[in-house]
Amino acid sequence: MSFFLYKPHVYGPEGVTTPDVIIDTVLKPKALDDQLVPVDQLTSQTYLQAREGSVVNAGFAQVAAGGGVILCPVMAISGGQTIFFRTAWRVEHHLKDAMKLSFGGEDGYIHAFSASPKTRCSAIVTLPRETKAPKDGGALRLEMSCSDAPVLKAVLNVSILPQANREDFDGGPAPRYSVGPTRKPVKHYI
Amino acid sequence: MKHIAYAATMQGLWLSHDDGDSWARLLTPTGGFYNEARCWCVEAHPKRPGEVLVGTDQGLYKMNPAEGRFEYIPSPMDSLHILQVARDPKDPDFIVCGTRPAELFISEDGGESWVRAPLDAATECWFINTTRVTSIQFDPRDADVIWATVEIDGVFKSEDRGKTWTLMIHGLADNDAHDLVFYDGPSGRSILASTEDSMHRSRDNALTWLQEPTDVAPFVYFRSLMQVGQNTGVVLASVGDKPSGETGMVLRSTDVGKSWSAVDLPYPPNSTIWGFGAHPADPNLIYFCTIFGQIYQSKDGGQSWAKKTRELGEIRMMTWEPKLGEPSP
């Protein structure tokens, strides 16, 4: 049995909860390829190293949890890896609040969001297409807003900021060995 | 001064709203992170009351005072132990975090994006296996200079706000470095460094170090240092029998460590004193914690101390900040 242990911070009307959620099934929307995503391709790592020119699709995932559904931003990178962001929002026991989400970005793309749940398990419902990962660290900010969510009582603002690995300062650390406290026998325990 | 005290423990972050007498964690359902997360560090910024940062083994978090909870800050450090967090006193959006393994991550936009600094610390250590960052300091004199200590590797200095780093260990008798204090006086700069094997001093901005005996203490395991107020020369040092240890003491100096006196404590520490907690809003109000959970408080700049009744298991760091509405420096 394989699964992905998802550790979201779920925002809702009463505050924020921090459950651990086991995800064992993920279905991409038909607009992409309508395929199951292997759960070993799921991650919540904030920083991933992707090939230059990778295509990034972004959207929301619906995660069945806690007797209802939580929404979380998702990035699907060509090649398979799929990032489930740890920031998420609870939608009470129905999906209607998620139906009117809109999605836009500074890349000039405006994507309609239409929810059509495929399964009672976790599923990515809609992903905007063909968002290119920027080269050379150019920023791509995708703002998602929920203008009509009476239960959620919130506006969803998510910034996705792809960043070139070279933005780490040049000259990464070289492996080096320390013998520890120097020049004398040591009687302590660290 | 009415204040909120914070204690980073191995069972979450604890808060006290009543002068350190009673302590509680945020509500589990809405607090923003797992209540028994291992919290290694907590930082209150002098210019932004309420915006407290907490480093844990499950990521970095920022206090949301309006909602009374912590907000998760996405970062590359989620799977690391975030042991130290420091914000530039002049630019609160410039954040430096130190981790285990010993790496530094820097954000210049309040945590929106991060880069890994080329610290080039040892990646492996025979003595503790994995090295770790023990302190981060912004130089009080030069805004471009940042300092870090690494256990076990030594003292690191950056003169370009973290873009390059240099290991400064010439003369250190022991590379297990823990903490630094800076004093800029009429006769020049003096830096004190606490190490696993006694106190060290540099008079040439860390180019060379000299080991300094402190005969007043029967131990040599120096851990935490702090200066009472800005550039006063009044320094507190914690020293214990060993880590985690079975006892410890506070030394106080009014001449930047040239002479030390042992401070009377009302109750014997049960382990090494791991850290001092202070805030510029009132330099005389200071907390310290032993690693095994004791909390002491001073209201006279560390001359006298009261032990708080409440103990909190294992404490790694303390700080405090004025309650909102109280005067800030």
Q: What is the pLDDT of residue A91?
A: 65
Q: What is the pLDDT of residue A134?
A: 42
Distance between CA atoms of residues B158 and B147, nearest Å: 6
Which range among A140-154, B129-143, B148-162, B297-311 shows the weakest confidence by mean pLDDT?
Answer: A140-154
Distance between CA atoms of residues B115 and B156, nearest Å: 18
Q: What is the pLDDT of residue B29?
A: 84
pLDDT at A78 over 70: yes
Tokens representing B201 are 């001093």
In tens, the pLDDT along B25-52 reads 998 888 888 889 999 999 998 888 889 9
pLDDT at B246 over 60: yes
Which range among A76-80, B130-134, B278-282 shows the weakest confidence by mean pLDDT?
Answer: A76-80
Q: Kindly state whether A189 is in contact with chain B, defined as any CB-CB distance less than 8 angstroms.
A: yes
**Mean pLDDT computed over B277-288:** 97
Q: What is the pLDDT of residue B53?
A: 98
* Residue B19's pLDDT band (cuts 50, 70, 90): very high
Which range among A22-26, B116-120, B315-319 shows the weakest confidence by mean pLDDT?
Answer: A22-26
Work out the number of other CB atoms within 10 angstroms of the CB of residue A67.
Answer: 7
Determine whether the interchain pair A15/B69 forms a contact, defined as Cβ–Cβ distance below 8 Å: yes
**Chain B neighbors of A87, CB-CB under 8 A:** 72, 74
pLDDT at B173 over 50: yes
Determine whether the interchain pair A177/B126 forms a contact, defined as Cβ–Cβ distance below 8 Å: yes
Q: What is the pLDDT of residue A166?
A: 61
* Residue A17's pLDDT band (cuts 50, 70, 90): confident
Of B69, B115, B153, the CB nearest to A16: B69
Distance between CA atoms of residues A130 and A110, nearest Å: 12
Touching B: A residues 18-37, CB under 8 Å: 18
Among residues B295, B250, B270, B290, which one has the least CA distance to residue B21? Answer: B295
**Chain A neighbors of B128, CB-CB under 8 A:** 180, 190
Residues A113 and A126 sit within 8 Å (Cβ to Cβ): yes
Q: Which amino acid is at B60?
A: L
In tens, the pLDDT along B175-201 reads 999 999 999 999 999 999 999 999 999
Determine whether the interchain pair B123/A85 forms a contact, defined as Cβ–Cβ distance below 8 Å: no
CA distance readout (Å), B217 to B247, B260, B274: 12, 9, 16
Highest mean pLDDT among A93-97, B125-129, B140-144: B140-144
In tens, the pLDDT along B70-87 reads 999 988 899 899 999 999
Q: How far is A68 from chain B (nearest CA, A)?
A: 16
Tokens representing B26 are 């945020």
Q: What is the pLDDT of residue B46?
A: 83
**Mean pLDDT computed over B151-167:** 95
Higher pLDDT, A153 or A33: A33
Higher pLDDT, B108 or A78: B108
Q: Return all residues near B279 (Cβ < 8 A) that are at least 6 apart.
A: B3, B44, B46, B285, B319, B320, B321, B322
* Residue A84's pLDDT band (cuts 50, 70, 90): confident
> How many inter-chain contacts (A to B, CB under 8 Å) are there?
134
* Residue A171's pLDDT band (cuts 50, 70, 90): low
Q: Kindly state whether A15 is in contact with chain B, defined as any CB-CB distance less than 8 angstroms.
A: yes
User: Looking at residue A82, what DSSP letter applies?
Assistant: E
Q: What is the pLDDT of residue A160?
A: 59
Residues B107 and B95 sit within 8 Å (Cβ to Cβ): yes
Distance between CA atoms of residues B301 and B227, nearest Å: 9
Determine whether the interchain pair A172/B118 forms a contact, defined as Cβ–Cβ distance below 8 Å: yes
Which range among A109-123, B192-206, B296-310 shows the weakest confidence by mean pLDDT?
Answer: A109-123
Distance between CA atoms of residues B272 and B217, nearest Å: 13
The per-residue pLDDT of chain A, averaged, comes to: 62
Helix or strand run (H / E) with residue B276: strand B273-277
Of B119, B127, B243, the CB nearest to A180: B127
* Residue A167's pLDDT band (cuts 50, 70, 90): low
Among residues A69, A12, A59, A65, which one has the least CA distance to residue A32? Answer: A59
Determine whether the interchain pair B174/A182 forms a contact, defined as Cβ–Cβ distance below 8 Å: yes
pLDDT at A92 over 60: no
**Chain B neighbors of A175, CB-CB under 8 A:** 123-124
Residues B207 and B168 sit within 8 Å (Cβ to Cβ): yes
Determine whether the interchain pair A184/B197 forms a contact, defined as Cβ–Cβ distance below 8 Å: yes
pLDDT at B67 over 50: yes
Q: Is the pTM for the entire model greater than 0.80?
A: yes
* Residue A127's pLDDT band (cuts 50, 70, 90): very low
Q: How far is B159 from chain A (nearest CA, A)?
A: 14
Determine whether the interchain pair A168/B116 forms a contact, defined as Cβ–Cβ distance below 8 Å: yes
**Mean pLDDT computed over A54-79:** 73
Higher pLDDT, A55 or B323: B323
**Chain B neighbors of A44, CB-CB under 8 A:** 78
User: Looking at residue B243, what DSSP letter applies?
Assistant: S
Give the chain B residue nearest A188 (alpha carbons): B242
* Residue A64's pLDDT band (cuts 50, 70, 90): confident
Q: Which amino acid is at A103?
A: F
Distance between CA atoms of residues A96 and A93, nearest Å: 9
Determine whether the interchain pair A178/B197 forms a contact, defined as Cβ–Cβ distance below 8 Å: no
**Mean pLDDT computed over A62-89:** 77
pLDDT at B226 over 90: yes
Q: How far is B280 from chain A (nearest CA, A)?
A: 31
Alpha helices in A48-178 (DSSP H): none
Q: What is the pLDDT of residue A135?
A: 41
Determine whether the interchain pair B119/A173 forms a contact, defined as Cβ–Cβ distance below 8 Å: yes
The per-residue pLDDT of chain B, averaged, comes to: 94
**Mean pLDDT computed over A78-96:** 72
Of B123, B151, B243, the CB nearest to A176: B123
Determine whether the interchain pair A179/B126 forms a contact, defined as Cβ–Cβ distance below 8 Å: yes
**Chain B neighbors of A187, CB-CB under 8 A:** 242
pLDDT at B121 over 60: yes
Q: Kindly state whether A43 is in contact with chain B, defined as any CB-CB distance less than 8 angstroms.
A: no
Higher pLDDT, B106 or A69: B106
Q: Which residues pair with B125 in a beta bridge?
A: A178, B129
Q: What is the pLDDT of residue A165?
A: 59
Distance between CA atoms of residues B81 and B83, nearest Å: 6
Q: What is the pLDDT of residue A12?
A: 72
Interface ipTM > 0.85: no
Determine whether the interchain pair B58/A7 forms a contact, defined as Cβ–Cβ distance below 8 Å: yes
Three-state DSSP state, A40: helix
pLDDT at A155 over 60: no
Give the chain A residue nearest B122 (alpha carbons): A176
What are the φ and ψ backbone dihedral angles of B129, each rounded to 5 degrees?
70, -60
Distance between CA atoms of residues A141 and A159, nearest Å: 5
Higher pLDDT, A31 or B24: B24
